[in-house]
Structure 1
Amino acid sequence: MTDETHTDEPPDSRRKGKHQKRTLGPVPDLEEHVKSDWWKGIFNRLYLKTDGDVVDDQQITRSEIDRITRVLHLQPDEKVLDLCCGQGRHTLELARRGYSAEGLDQSHYLIQRARSTAKKEGMQVRFREGDARRLPYRADTYDAVLVLGNSFGYFDSVEEDLRILMELRRVLKPWGRVLLDVADGEYLKDHFQPRSWEWIDPAMFVCRERSLSLDGQRLISREVITDVDRGVVADQFYAERLYTAENLRQLLERAGFSGITFHDIATESRRNQDLGMMERRHIVTAVLRKEWSTTKVRGGERAKHVAVLLGDPTRPDALKPSCVFDDDDFYTIDQMKAALRELKGYRFTYLCKHDTMIQDLAKLKGKVDYVLNLCDEGFNNDPRRELHVPALLEMLGIPYTGSGPQSLAFCYDKSLVRGVAKEMGIPVPDACFITPGDRTYDAGMKLPAIVKPNTGDSSYGITQKSVANTLEDLADVINSLRATVGYDHSLLVEEFLTGKDISVGIIGNPSGYCTVLPITEEDYSALPPELPRLCGYEAKWLPDSPYWKIVSRPANLPEETEKVVVRCCLALFERLECRDYCRFDWRLDEHGNPKLLEVNPNPGWCWDGHLAKMAKYAGISYSGMLGQILKAAEERFGMEQETGAREAGKESLPLDITRETA
């Protein structure tokens, strides 16, 4: 570290015979000589000499970035802020690896060094000067913020350090991560060196004194830097707060962070002499759970006001493994909110409290343009009441996206969909319908067969144990499924098809533009050979299951098969009164003939769901997919189309097929 009272000397200062710096000599109390803003002028050329063995070594930097990217699980498309970036060594290394990173530091000298290095390497990396307590960035900008090199704890009070964390909270996105590289205060209190000296290059050495502050909460340091030819060139004092692991945890929690984890780090140094505050450190990571900030639409264009209806995270949800909303659910919701924020010309209000949903919607009538219905959990998180939500919106006279209550009622009943499809000449598997009261039944089909609830959602009740290979197996599977879903539910026994498992997604409406997304198929190659090939409850909800390894890929189908499947999907889309978006699940038999399994008129809208994957294969982002759904509904409503109204979802349309009729 270097002194705030001394800046870099001109290159020719030695030739001009400039007088050497004066030293204060012995002082009885180091703390008396520490200025409250010591950090303003201390980080200059001499800092890179005194601490260069740790903070200016490219090999060490690479090693640290290896650790950081691993600990934070950084993804290439995530935006990273390197706060207190110094000469930009970490920022630049991240940029070299393809990450979107930028840096901020209060030192003019170090920021100029960072910019110079970026320019020499031909990299477009943004570096700014600024105060960490007042960051010059918009809210919800970054996926991760790094505070490295023991750059936390410079201020006189803990409250000022808290201000930094609150600024990080502001600029981080929901589910953003922070990583602090902080001295182990508990260790340093007992192990700091009161006096030391070391050579920092062949012509310069530094002598150090250290003591604890009067309150025992800060380590006071003095450095006297001497040039062998010129004598003393700096005599400087600084102080850093000694945070224990528990102190840091409490401070991060006060700032609203959770998931706080400590990772030990061994300090690397080529000189390996007096490491000072860098001798023993913690890597601390934490996650931020917050709501997205309110956005304002610029310019004179009126923003469309859209209310987004969701499941209720405060209520039980029987379809989820833990029967409650968990971190994955909240992360999914935040990803959706982030995607909607990217759409121009909209503002969104989110409704998820079902106890007051009726009153809340009544108050919004006339104040919102329409509702984006993403409540696929059903009213009060009851899938049997999925149709209640659009029915309520119709009674209130509020337009909404997605299918109406009649369509949801049709498609919730798998046997009913089979009957409609057969009537239309669309192939379906052989099946047997079993009513709740049936105790004897004749499936009348060849085995193996799969047993599934006739009504339901999210593959509930469909697992590896749902496949029966013998009549004895069939009885056991039926009894087991009844015990799981309830004896008052009807069941469907269906021939188990062994060909490709495919899905078709459609966005739009038959009366307007209609987009068929690329067909996907499930890749079961990672499954153990003894497990049945099906994409059921385990594949969607249980990360520890081997079925979690199933991945969706673009389907490789004969052209004629693809045309038949798409033609049938478009016909069903219209016949079942689906609207705006829909997903159809099919399976091929052993001869490659496609047969319809089910129709989902309110398919999963999540960022990693089947529909989003199909859109991605079409070159449409998650945000673009949601934008297309909104535009499909607006076109159906007959809303006035402003100039450029399709821009929100205009990443289309490199699609397989656009609008076919059956």
Structure 2
Amino acid sequence: MEKGSNQVQKSSKHSKTLGPVESLEQYLTSDWWKRIFNSMYLKTDADVVEDPRITEKEVTTFHEILNIEDGNTILDLACGQGRHLIELATRGSYNLFGLDRSRYLIQRARRISKEKGLSIAFKEGDIRKLPYPADSFDYVTNLGNSFGYFETLDDDIKILEEIFRVLKPGGKVLLDIADGSYIRENFTPRSWEWIDDKHFVCRERSLAQDNERLITREIITHSEKGVIVDQFYAERLYTKEQLSDLIERANFQKVSFHGNTKPESLRDQDLGMMEQRFILTANAVKERTSQKNQKKVRNVVVVMGDPSLRDAVKPDAVFDSDDFDTIEKLVEALNKLDNYKFNYLNNHKTLVSDLQQIQDKADIVLNLCDEGFENDATKELHIPSLLEMLNIPYTGSNPQTLAYCYDKSLIRGIATEVDVPVADAFVITENEKLFELNVPFPVIAKPNFGDSSFGITKNNVAHSVEELADAIYRIRKQFGYAKPILIEEFLTGAELSVGVVGNTEKYTVLPIIEEDYSNLPDHLPKICGYEAKWLPDSPYMNALKSIPASIPPHTEQALIHHSLKLFKRLDCRDYCRFDWRLNSKGEPKLLEVNPNPGWCWDGHLAKMCSLAEMDYSQMLGAILDAAAMRLNPRNYPKINVD
């Protein structure tokens, strides 16, 4: 777990530990909650959060307090692995939704509910900006002491205001939260306990300087491997009076407390913040949000490549039957999205005037023109530039982001700047003499500018200076002698893709996929290049397939952490794909960043969405959803699929 320059780095076997520290607060980061809720969390807190007896008792209590009836719509915020919703689903016919920031816990919740045959809509997201329309829920719950994680009081108010917004008039919120007064006076400064036959955990606690938060340091040790986790986290301590005031500031009324609760842990050791909690409810007394404030994005203009123009990326430089079939599948999928009217623009000769005509009529442009203006990949950024000049909102990344990511060498520099690992590489220009360079083989030569694997084939992998010279000659002949070429170490580990749909405040990290090379003939280099994407008769296209990634949890967490860091640094928007490869030691190295990645029905993004139980229509809807939320975060529409 990375905690910043002064923090601890977690590895697969051992973790550096700080030893004794004078101040826990010094090592606490504001975003600790982004990474702590993983498989180890389910071990350390298993005595409470994995005990079905405790969950059943808590659900019974909450059910009675709220008087839940069949047909009610219920949202559980910070739902974790979905234990309360899964139990509730067995007790009646309800419309159940769960939201949590932890991808690991949400994926676990989906898997368990699917195995049990339960229909629960689990979603990954930030509870400060809820991905639901106003007036959606009869009840919203926040259970298991999942409130007060953020650094400022304003963040907690945002949560309550969002809950108020999504509740129906007369709806209720229920909070199950630590009794701050009790915890402040009775917390255990130091403790240790065995959590299973191999792991024990030591905890150290202290109050923050402002006396408003309890900070915990948790060191998890494996009996054979030593320290595996050294992490810091915190929670705000609310008294009943403070919480009542906070809830009323968010416009709730009729705040009621329903006694205290304490989990009956069989381990009966350190319960920490879960030791004593109070339950409260409050009513959303409000008028139904007007239809004007719930305006949906209805008129969508889809901008695409021009099938009448030459496209140098395609094998025969023209749109073929497969391309037109892909477009048909797109239209079919978009037609499944309710409450939307789609119009399509693909004539680039009249595109500027066409956009001017719809300037005041389109709610948003679905920018699927990844071919670039006039099917020129170097002009991909021209489309969003034009839309910005016309002040037409659009999906996907802005011109600057597209310009950055088209330059592989530039992306390497930006990644290095923010401590994202990249493969060893260097750029050569037309004047450099290859035979004077000290090159460690094998390497792969790539055009520095480009996408869609254009110019990257099996022949680009070189094991000698002679092979590299041949590869460089072919690239220069195809792209021009003045263009720079990237010479990169050829990595031999798993080739992985990380997909992100959404934006910084609210996003979904899709299941990571891996390229399966097991059916590829041994004499061919393991790359997913031009042959695999564009040449039907190639052994690559016939042999390669994408499968769920088989990587250790710490590698998965590192990939996600680094991808999100780049997503934010590069100002990516709405959806993006990050391509990685592991080296011989299993360490991830960035290959490329792909803003506005391929949107076709059988592309990598669609494959990742499929693993997340999103069909093609839902994937396209999620992109529209992300853009709508970014453009109008308070009132963006929920997209329904037939």
TM-score by length of 2: 0.53
1:586 alignment partner, one of 563, 569, 580: 580
1:522 Cα deviation from its structure 2 partner = 0.2
CA change 1:528–1:557 in 2 (3 A) is same
**Alpha-carbon separation, structure 2, partners of 1:424 and 1:576:** 11
Alignment of 1:51-450 (within 5 A): 304-440=298-434, 442-450=436-444
Q: Secondary structure at the match of 2:350?
A: helix
**Alpha-carbon separation, structure 2, partners of 1:329 and 1:567:** 35
Q: Deviations over 1:274-294 (max 9, x none)?
A: xxxxxxxxxxxxxxxxxxxxx
1:377 aligned partner, one-letter code: E
CA change 1:432–1:628 in 2 (3 A) is same
Q: Secondary structure at the match of 1:345?
A: coil
CA contact (8 A) 1:447 1:495 kept: yes
Q: Secondary structure at the match of 1:522?
A: strand
Q: Deviations over 1:544-580 (max 9, x none)?
A: 0000120000001100000011000000001011000
2:607 alignment partner, one of 603, 613, 635: 613
Q: Deviations over 1:126-165 (max 9, x none)?
A: xxxxxxxxxxxxxxxxxxxxxxxxxxxxxxxxxxxxxxxx
Match of 1:535 in 2: 528
CA change 1:649–1:406 in 2 (3 A) is farther
CA contact (8 A) 2:499 2:577 kept: yes
**Alpha-carbon separation, structure 2, partners of 1:573 and 1:564:** 14
**Alpha-carbon separation, structure 2, partners of 1:454 and 1:596:** 15
Match of 1:509 in 2: 503
- Asked if 1:648 corresponds to 2:640, the answer is yes
1:483 Cα deviation from its structure 2 partner = 1.1
1:414 Cα deviation from its structure 2 partner = 0.3
Match of 2:268 in 1: none
CA change 1:506–1:301 in 2 (3 A) is closer
CA contact (8 A) 2:295 2:635 kept: no
CA contact (8 A) 2:297 2:363 kept: no
1:647 Cα deviation from its structure 2 partner = 3.5
**Alpha-carbon separation, structure 1, partners of 2:388 and 2:625:** 20
CA contact (8 A) 1:402 1:579 kept: yes
**Alpha-carbon separation, structure 1, partners of 2:436 and 2:381:** 33
CA contact (8 A) 2:405 2:411 kept: yes
CA contact (8 A) 1:431 1:445 kept: no
Q: Secondary structure at the match of 2:578?
A: strand
1:581 Cα deviation from its structure 2 partner = 0.1
Match of 1:544 in 2: 537
Q: Deviations over 1:396-440 (max 9, x none)?
A: 100000000000000000000000111111111110101244344
CA contact (8 A) 1:410 1:416 kept: yes
1:486 Cα deviation from its structure 2 partner = 2.0
**Alpha-carbon separation, structure 2, partners of 1:364 and 1:571:** 36
Match of 1:482 in 2: 476
**Alpha-carbon separation, structure 2, partners of 1:443 and 1:583:** 33
Q: Deviations over 1:463-496 (max 9, x none)?
A: 0100000112111111122112222321100000
1:523 aligned partner, one-letter code: D
CA contact (8 A) 1:308 1:371 kept: yes
Q: Secondary structure at the match of 2:557?
A: helix
CA contact (8 A) 1:305 1:347 kept: yes
1:461 Cα deviation from its structure 2 partner = 0.7
CA change 1:442–1:418 in 2 (3 A) is farther
CA change 1:364–1:592 in 2 (3 A) is same
**Alpha-carbon separation, structure 2, partners of 1:316 and 1:341:** 28
**Alpha-carbon separation, structure 1, partners of 2:435 and 2:616:** 46
**Alpha-carbon separation, structure 1, partners of 2:344 and 2:351:** 11
CA change 1:430–1:334 in 2 (3 A) is same
Bigger Rg over Cα: 1
1:646 Cα deviation from its structure 2 partner = 2.0
CA contact (8 A) 1:451 1:492 kept: yes
Q: Deviations over 1:111-133 (max 9, x none)?
A: xxxxxxxxxxxxxxxxxxxxxxx
Q: Deviations over 1:319-361 (max 9, x none)?
A: 0001000000000011011000000010101000000000000
- Asked if 1:492 corresponds to 2:486, the answer is yes
Q: Secondary structure at the match of 1:648?
A: coil
CA change 1:575–1:536 in 2 (3 A) is same
Residue correspondences, number: 348
1:648 Cα deviation from its structure 2 partner = 2.9
Q: Secondary structure at the match of 1:507?
A: strand
1:576 aligned partner, one-letter code: L
Q: With CA pairs under 8 Å and 6+ residues apart, which has the higher RCO, 1 or 2?
A: 2
CA change 1:525–1:396 in 2 (3 A) is same
Q: Secondary structure at the match of 1:629?
A: helix
- Asked if 1:524 corresponds to 2:520, the answer is no
Q: Secondary structure at the match of 2:638?
A: helix
**Alpha-carbon separation, structure 2, partners of 1:414 and 1:357:** 29
1:595 alignment partner, one of 575, 589, 595: 589
1:591 Cα deviation from its structure 2 partner = 1.0
1:535 Cα deviation from its structure 2 partner = 0.1
1:443 Cα deviation from its structure 2 partner = 4.8
2:416 aligned partner, one-letter code: K
**Alpha-carbon separation, structure 1, partners of 2:628 and 2:359:** 17
**Alpha-carbon separation, structure 2, partners of 1:355 and 1:472:** 45
CA contact (8 A) 1:311 1:378 kept: yes
2:640 aligned partner, one-letter code: A
